[in-house]
Amino acid sequence: MIIQLEKDINEANKESIFKQVKDLKYKATEVKTQKGDYLIGTGKNDFDIRSIGHMEGIKDIHIVSDDYKLVSRKWKVKPTIIDLGDGVKIEEGGFRIMAGPCSIEGEEQIKKTIDHLKAQGIRIMRGGVYKPRSSPYSFRGLGIDGLKLWYDLAKEAGIKIVTEVMQVSQIAEMDPYVDVYQVGARNTQNFNLLDELGKNTDKPVMIKRGISGTIDELLYSAEYVFSAGNERLLLCERGIRTYENATRNTMDLNAIPVLKEKTHLPVIADPSHGIGIRHHVEPIALASIMAGADGVIYETHEKPEEAYSDGQQTLNFEESNKLIDRMRKTFELRQTF
């Protein structure tokens, strides 16, 4: 169960509610987020909601049978809107494009990407300054200096930044320069990192699906951040590892409608990592839109063949223009359904 507590609840009332929940043989956990105070009850027994609902200090009470609670759509019917300011929102019923290189490489590359995005009216740029690479000898990112450089150029252009945070110690130094933190597939179950992103920032966090993670595991990861304090969350399907090796990953399109049903959080599709093959990114992006994604994030670079990372799945600007046009048409079609 989720009990939403009144903001000004006094200690005595809170204690009585706790006691009542425990008497029902439920484990009671208090959660304070940047937006509200909750009491999460976990247990299995049936109970009469009226035995608690009348108590002083309760704003609302919801029975949520899912094992994850706060990210469930069962209590929060209204979808979560992620508002990045300056008219940039990510929300159900809308469709948001985020694009940019796999890695931030330098000033020229940033400027060229921004020009490409601006010409298309795209307001969110992706790019990594801390790169998780399978080999330690691969390019591992420009780090905080690259982020600062990018921030200055992006701010001037009215472009928002989504970029990966790999470890707890990076949060404080990155925070002024980030609009959306990305938690990468290799870190989806780094519970320490998730906890700290809940406690130490009010910036939105986009959590990617783990490399071999289930849909429920992704939801639990979001529950970590939410219950640690930060409700501003997005989920990203980026393909999972299966026995199929003709593609880099297997884009799990199934996950999109399933997540949309299970959670109130926006769901983003990443077809670039999902299939890993440049000329197949477009059909997977379009299919993701029809499957109900609230946004698509993909990789683009002026010269993909020279990109420092993930060139094989990166679109050049001409291909990117074509994709944007087709995504917009697909979204229009979806709206007629």
How many CB atoms sit inside 10 A of residue 64's CB?
A: 19
Binding partner selected for residue 185 from ligand PEP, Mn ion, none, CB under the kind-specific 5 to 8 Å limit: ligand PEP
Q: Which of 44, 13, 17 is nearest to 28 (CA)?
A: 17
Under 8 Å between Cβ of 9 and 57: yes
Is 102 one of the binding residues for Mn ion (CB under 5 A)? yes
Binding test (CB under 6 A) with ligand PEP, winner from 79, 132, 143, 257: 132
- Distance (Å, whole) CA 265 – CA 252: 18
Is 102 one of the binding residues for ligand PEP (CB under 6 A)? yes
Is 164 one of the binding residues for Mn ion (CB under 5 A)? no
C-beta of 131: minimal distance to ligand PEP in Å? 7
Which CB, 69 or 126, lies closer to ligand PEP?
Answer: 126
Can you name the residues that pair with 125 across neighbouring β-strands? 99, 161
Question: Which residues inside 199-218 make contact with ligand PEP, applying CB under 6 A?
Answer: 208
Which CB, 1 or 171, lies closer to ligand PEP?
Answer: 171
Binding test (CB under 6 A) with ligand PEP, winner from 128, 146, 198, 229: 128
Binding test (CB under 5 A) with Mn ion, winner from 20, 310, 315, 323: 310
Which CB, 58 or 255, lies closer to ligand PEP?
Answer: 255
Under 8 Å between Cβ of 21 and 3: yes
- Distance (Å, whole) CA 173 – CA 169: 8
Q: How far is CA 12 from CA 8, 18, 186, in A?
A: 12, 10, 44
Sheet holding 27-32, edge to edge: 27-32, 37-42, 2-5, 58-62
Which CB, 1 or 154, lies closer to ligand PEP?
Answer: 154
Q: Tokens for 152?
A: 């200055």
Which CB, 128 or 304, lies closer to ligand PEP?
Answer: 128
Binding partner selected for residue 292 from ligand PEP, Mn ion, none, CB under the kind-specific 5 to 8 Å limit: none
- Distance (Å, whole) CA 190 – CA 226: 15
C-beta of 200: minimal distance to ligand PEP in Å? 21
Binding partner selected for residue 208 from Mn ion, ligand PEP, none, CB under the kind-specific 5 to 8 Å limit: ligand PEP
Can you name the residues that pair with 124 across neighbouring β-strands? 98, 160
Which CB, 41 or 274, lies closer to ligand PEP?
Answer: 274
How many CB atoms sit inside 10 A of residue 220's CB?
A: 18
Which CB, 273 or 278, lies closer to ligand PEP?
Answer: 273
Binding test (CB under 6 A) with ligand PEP, winner from 273, 300, 324, 331: 273
Is 184 one of the binding residues for ligand PEP (CB under 6 A)? yes
Strand, helix or coil for residue 112: helix
Question: Which residues inside 67-96 make contact with ligand PEP, applying CB under 6 A?
Answer: none
Binding partner selected for residue 184 from ligand PEP, Mn ion, none, CB under the kind-specific 5 to 8 Å limit: ligand PEP
Q: Which 8-state DSSP code applies to residue 336? A: T
Write the burial class of residue 92 (CB in 10 Å: 0-12 exposed, 13-18 middle, 19+ buried): middle
Binding test (CB under 6 A) with ligand PEP, winner from 238, 262, 278, 301: 238
Under 8 Å between Cβ of 39 and 18: yes
Q: Which of 280, 185, 262 is nearest to 223 (CA)?
A: 262
Is 185 one of the binding residues for ligand PEP (CB under 6 A)? yes
Under 8 Å between Cβ of 327 and 285: yes
C-beta of 209: minimal distance to ligand PEP in Å? 8
Residue nearest to Mn ion (CB): 102
Residues near Mn ion (CB under 5 A) are 102, 310
Residues near ligand PEP (CB under 6 A) are 102, 128, 132, 184-186, 208, 238, 273
